[in-house]
Structure 1
C-alpha cells in the first residue's frame, strides 16, 4: 500500500480508496491527448491536495497543488514567510525571476523574525548578520539577495536584460529550505529537547526526594 506525506500538516498516511480518487480527461486532438486528475484527502487535517498529469502533449504536463516539490513548513514559522516560500515554489517554472524575487523577500522576512535584525535595506541587514552565522552560509544568503535583486529592481539601463533560469531559481529555494532547517526547525527541536531533559531531571529529583521520605518512614 502506497504512502503519502500531507503537504499541509506533514503527517505520513497510507493511501486508500476512501482517501484518494482519480479521473481521466480526454481532449480531442490528433494524438488523443489525455490528462489524469488525482486528488487525496489527509485523514488528519482533512485538506485535499491535487495533481494533474498529461500524456501525448508537445511538452509534459504536471501540476500539483500544493506544489509537490514544496517543503512542509511547521506553523511555528510565520504565515507570511511560509506563504512567500510556497508562492516562490509554485511559479519557479513559470517565472524564475519572480520566484527569485520572492525567495529574496522570504529571506528578508526570516532575518527580521528569527534574528530580529531590521535595517534600512536587506544589504545592511545581511551585513549585520555576518558575525552570527558560518561564512559559507552568509555568502549563500548574500547570493540570494543579489540574484533576487534582478527581479526586484530595474537595471539603470532598461535595455539590459539579465535573466534567471529555472535551475538557478530552484537552487535559491534550496538555500531558503536549508535556512528553515538550520534556523527555525533546529531551534525548535533544540528547545523541545532541552525542555524534555529538564523535565526528566525534575521528575528524577522528585522521585529521589519521595524515596528518601519513604525510607525514613514519613
Structure 2
C-alpha cells in the first residue's frame, strides 16, 4: 500500500511495534537497515492473482531476511505496507509502517494473517483514496471498514493480534487482500479499474525512476 502526501510521518509520533507501545522507532526501522531492495511486482503478474501459501517454518534465517528485504523495499517505494507476493514470494506474510487517524505510527510484520471485520450491523464503510505499490502511480477511492482486527504470528511463531482504525485499518485490509490474490483494483467498477490502469501507464516510469533514485541514495 502506498503512502499519501497528506499522511506524512513524524519523528515524535507515538509508536506501536508489533502491536505494543514503544518509546520510539527509527525511520526506516531496524529491519530496513539490514535488508536489500527487491523488485516490486506489477499488476498483471501471476503471483499477484493467486492465493499465497501458508508459512510453515518459523524462526529461520530465510524468513528473517525476507522480512528485512520487504521493509527496505517498502521504505524505498514510500509505502505503508507490502505483501510478500509483491516481491515475488507467494507466502502469507506482510510488513507495515503505517500511521493511524490518531497519529500513532504502527510498525511490524504479520504471518498467516486472518482478517476479522466488525459485524455488518456495526461496521462503517469509508471511501478514501488508496494506492498500491504494485499499481504504480494510480490512486482511486476504495470503500473499506474503519476498523479491522488481524490475527496471525510473528517470525518466531508467537501469536499476534493487531487492531487498526482509520487509515491503518485500511492498510491491514489492503495487505490481507494481497495474500488471497486480490489487489484494490478488484474492488473497483470496470470504469474505475480502467481509469486506474490508465493512470499507471501514464505515471509508472516516473514512479520507477523515483524508487531507483532513492535506492541509489541509500547505497542499495
TM-score if structure 2 supplies the norm length? 0.22
Q: Greater strand share, 1 or 2?
A: 2
Structure with greater contact order relative to length (CA < 8 Å, sep ≥ 6): 2
Q: Greater helix share, 1 or 2?
A: 1
Bigger Rg over Cα: 1
